[in-house]
Copies of this chain bind each other. A is one copy, B any other.
Amino acid sequence: MASMTQVPDPAADSASCAGGHRHHAFDVAAGLLEAERVCTAAGESLTPLRRDVMELLLRAHGPAKAYDLLQALTAGAAKPPTIYRALEFLQRMGLAHRIESLNAFIACGIGACAKNAGFLICTACGWAEELLADPVNAALEGAASERGFRIAGAVIEARGLCRDCAPSVATK
């Protein structure tokens, strides 16, 4: 298999995933509408390419790797800068996030949040659930201010087992 991350082929549609059990998924249609709305509001354009990448992220069953997205675009004819540029744009719009500890990208699960989201990453099924990380950021702010440090942004990524996977791993 080319990769572990689940970038769907264009035909796939449902929320079934590699692990076999169905769970977690984005609402693709709603996500695309929201993306259009956000870009318009920002005076930017959700071009066909950017929209295609957004759709791939929304259909993915978890964080997607850049080169897998690249392969999924027009059957791999695109070159690396194509995908990195589209991802950078989507991140700038708050429509997607990069997960540093996975070198992967995911659609925003909260809705155009430009900053300081957090993720709970399941090591069993690969899903990453987004958090509004306000309490976490507040705790970070507290620690930072004690040291005279001014926070501009933060990476918050927890690894562990999601509700669905904790039982199956525990009983294994």
Contacts and interface: CB of A to CB of B under 8 A. Distances in A.
A138 B140 CA distance: 11
B100 A157 contact: yes
Contacts of A144: 120, 158, 160
Contact of A158 (B129, B148, B153): B153
A101 B143 CA distance: 19
B150 A166 contact: yes
Give the number of copies in the complex.
2
Interface in A116-166: 118, 120, 122-123, 129, 131, 133, 135-136, 138-140, 142-144, 147-163, 166
Given A100-B101, A135-B139, A158 B166 contact: no
A116 to B, nearest CB: 9
A142 B131 CA distance: 11
Given A156-B155, A156-B156, A163 B148 contact: yes
Given A100-B100, A101-B100, A156-B156, A140 B136 contact: yes
B163 A149 contact: yes
Given A118-B140, A135-B142, A136-B139, A159 B153 contact: yes
Of A151, A158, A163, the most chain B CB neighbours within 10 A belong to A158
